[in-house]
Amino acid sequence: MKVRAQEVKSRIFELSGGHPALDLVNTLDWRFRDSGPEELLEDYADVVRFVEQTGLMNAMDARKLLRSASENKAAKVLVSVRDLREAAAELLYAAVDGKSPSSSALKRLEEFFASAREQQKLRWDGEKLEWALPQASSFPSFPLWLLSLNTETLITSEQMPLLRECGNAECRWLFIDTSKNHTRRWCDMKICGNRMKARRFKAQHRD
């Protein structure tokens, strides 16, 4: 596991992707490691905390969801969020590699996006109409809808040409490269950047 600040009861997610959809994909840590990846979304509480930490949901709604969601429904949402993540990962890594995503990944994403959009209603915000989801605390699937809509926003946006992956072959976390010359190489210089520099140094000075 990468070095992260920890709280006694709440996981702290490292949000280095520049977009919630990329940070979601990165919750399967060390995805390409030979010894296997590490799952950071271990339960529904992790999903809710992740959505809150990305700024998509406020703390009050997050607490209400954690108190109100039934164990059965929470388990189903967890499975769906992971499924959304893996469909998005397939598409995004294909894009990074200059390939086309599979038709099955596109179909799964289309289903998630359509389901989330069906929940939206027109609402007057005092100045204009806007599409909005219902109150979070009443729907355990609210985090899934938020993540679906945000994933759709990213992969249909003009940010996609700036999509990059970490240069550590075992990590390959995704991020939007907003650096001045679009030359960012690492998910986080303090983590993978320093690790890879140290590895190169040892290789160059090996007897």
Spans of all domains in the chain: 20-204
Instruction: List the one residue out of 136, 122, 133, 140 whose CA is nearest residue 44.
Output: 140
In the prediction, which pLDDT does 7 show?
38
pLDDT along the chain (207 residues), means of 10: 44 93 97 94 96 94 92 96 98 97 96 96 90 83 97 97 93 94 86 57 44
In the prediction, which pLDDT does 125 show?
85
Distance CA(51)–CA(143), nearest Å, equals 6
For residue 141, which amino acid is it? S
What b/e string do you get for 154-163 counting C-beta neighbours within 10 Å, with b at 16 or more?
Answer: bbeeebeebb
Helix axes 103-118, 142-155, angle to 10 degrees: 120
In the prediction, which pLDDT does 189 show?
73
CA distances from 193 to 144, 184, 185, 187, 199 (A): 32, 10, 8, 8, 10
In the prediction, which pLDDT does 1 show?
46
Q: List the beta bridge partners of residue 131.
A: 122
Report pTM: 0.86
- Per the listing, tokens 């990074």 go with 96
Q: List the beta bridge partners of residue 175.
A: 164
Fold of 20-204: Jann2411-like fold (1.10.3300)
Q: What are phi and psi of 137, to 5 degrees?
A: -65, -15
In the prediction, which pLDDT does 197 show?
52
In the prediction, which pLDDT does 194 show?
57
In three-state form (DSSP H/G/I as H, E/B as E, the rest C), the secondary structure along 109-127 is HHHHHHHHHHCCEEEECCC
